[in-house]
Amino acid sequence: MEVLYEDNQIIVVKKEPNVPSQADKTGDIDMLTMVKDYIKNKYNKPRRSIYRFDT
């Protein structure tokens, strides 16, 4: 996961092809889980709601 921008309000990451945006029945690791885990590990903060914005 490549973090493109990050501050105390927002994180922008690059989603690689073939990585699901959110969990599905395959059980493959997904972007939502990766971002939540990144925030939890880096800042020792609980996993919180994340909103998706596409361009």
Closest CA to 42 of 6, 4, 13: 6
What are the tens digits of pLDDT across the range 3-55? 999 988 888 899 999 999 889 999 899 998 999 899 889 988 776 666 666 65
Which residue is listed with tokens 């395959």? 26
Which residue is listed with tokens 């971002």? 35
Question: What is the reported pLDDT for 53?
Answer: 67
Alpha helices (H) along the chain? 31-43
Distance CA 21, CA 40 (A): 18
